[in-house]
């Protein structure tokens, strides 16, 4: 595996009315080619802010983010983001919503045939063929999440960044989506970065779990998971990882609450 996306000593935070708040300080991270990383950490630690920076949507307060060795200051066609809320346009069909992902700035322009092919391939990849003409109101929550993933995939990214994408789904649908995500990323040799509050989800999906904690936040734990996929039948093997992550999560939250 080779390094694809990296953060070099970045500070993550925001400026409001002249006051700078630092959420993560001196944070370094790298995502390898074909690697899937899950990011966990207490609410408010700065996970979503970090994801926006790694996607090139915002700049860090300090330090720099590099994609394939070059400084990343703007969105990049190889990086595709899916947020928790699928945000489908209600008046557009499923296929049009998937195609919408190709309209962003910083996206190479495609002719009509190329667009159609990409949209059809992405819809196929998430198992929604035959539903192209449905409107969002006709879709279940799980289907809407599939559309959001297809919209992400239609851009043919190298890295998919997902912010709690499955948290609103029932358990069975969530398991299906987790398996789908892993198989799609593997098949297309993409890397993935997934933010989640669900430790089992992190253990099921990721090659590596990264825990952010304390204030200002930093990396407080990292676990390499070299178990083969699919893992749904093998959750017992992860019991000690789950306990260890929970323990460190609790300690890092206690450090925040003592302030």
Ligand X SMILES: Nc1ncnc2c1ncn2[C@@H]1O[C@H](COP(=O)(O)OP(=O)(O)OP(=O)(O)O)[C@@H](O)[C@H]1O
Q: Which residues bind ligand X (CB under 6 A)?
A: 14, 16, 23, 41, 43-49
- Cβ neighbours for 159, distance < 8 A, ≥ 6 positions apart: 4, 5, 31, 67, 78, 79, 80, 190, 191, 192, 193
In the complex, what is the shortest distance from the CB of residue 162 to ligand X, in angstroms, rounded to a whole number? 13
Binds 23, which of Mg ion, ligand X, none (CB < 5 to 8 A, cut-off by type)? ligand X
**Closest by CA position to 80, among listed 63, 59, 100:** 100
Identity of the residue, 47 or 118, whose beta carbon is nearer to Mg ion in the bound complex: 47
Alpha helix ranges (H) inside the chain: 47-54, 94-100, 112-125, 141-154, 171-187, 199-205, 239-257
Bridge partners (DSSP) listed for residue 5: 31, 67
Distance in angstroms (rounded) separating the CA atoms of residues 35 and 189 = 9
Q: Which residue is nearest to Mg ion (CB)?
A: 48
Distance in angstroms (rounded) separating the CA atoms of residues 252 and 137 = 41
Identity of the residue, 45 or 122, whose beta carbon is nearer to ligand X in the bound complex: 45
Identity of the residue, 48 or 173, whose beta carbon is nearer to Mg ion in the bound complex: 48
Binds 145, which of ligand X, Mg ion, none (CB < 5 to 8 A, cut-off by type)? none
Identity of the residue, 47 or 215, whose beta carbon is nearer to Mg ion in the bound complex: 47
In the complex, what is the shortest distance from the CB of residue 47 to Mg ion, in angstroms, rounded to a whole number? 5
In the complex, what is the shortest distance from the CB of residue 157 to ligand X, in angstroms, rounded to a whole number? 21
Identity of the residue, 52 or 208, whose beta carbon is nearer to ligand X in the bound complex: 52
In the complex, what is the shortest distance from the CB of residue 78 to ligand X, in angstroms, rounded to a whole number? 23
In the complex, what is the shortest distance from the CB of residue 71 to ligand X, in angstroms, rounded to a whole number? 22
Distance in angstroms (rounded) separating the CA atoms of residues 94 and 115 = 14
């Amino acid at each position: 595996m080779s390094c694809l996306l990296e953060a070099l000593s970045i500070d993550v935070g925001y400026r409001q009315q002249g006051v700078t708040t630092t959420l993560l300080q001196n944070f370094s991270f790298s995502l390898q080619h074909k690697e899937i990383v899950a990011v966990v950490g207490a609410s408010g630690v700065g996970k979503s802010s970090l994801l926006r920076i790694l996607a090139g949507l915002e700049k860090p307060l300090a330090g720099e983010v590099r994609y394939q060795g070059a400084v990343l200051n703007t969105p990049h066609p190889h990086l595709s983001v899916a947020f928790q809320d699928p945000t489908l346009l209600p008046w557009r069909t499923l296929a049009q919503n998937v195609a919408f992902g190709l309209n962003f700035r910083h996206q190479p322009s495609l002719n009509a045939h190329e667009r159609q092919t990409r949209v059809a391939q992405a819809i196929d990849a998430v198992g929604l063929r035959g539903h192209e003409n449905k409107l969002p109101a006709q879709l279940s929550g799980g289907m809407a999440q599939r559309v959001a993933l297809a919209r992400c995939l239609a851009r043919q990214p190298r890295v998919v960044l997902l912010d709690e994408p499955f948290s609103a789904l029932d358990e069975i649908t969530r398991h299906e989506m987790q398996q789908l995500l892993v198989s799609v990323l593997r098949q297309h040799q993409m890397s993935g970065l997934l933010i989640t509050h669900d430790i089992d989800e992190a253990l099921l999906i990721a090659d590596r779990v990264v825990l952010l904690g304390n204030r200002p936040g930093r990396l407080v734990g990292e676990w390499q998971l070299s178990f083969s996929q699919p893992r749904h039948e093998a959750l017992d093997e992860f019991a000690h990882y789950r306990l260890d992550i929970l323990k460190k999560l609790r300690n890092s939250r206690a450090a925040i609450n003592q302030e």
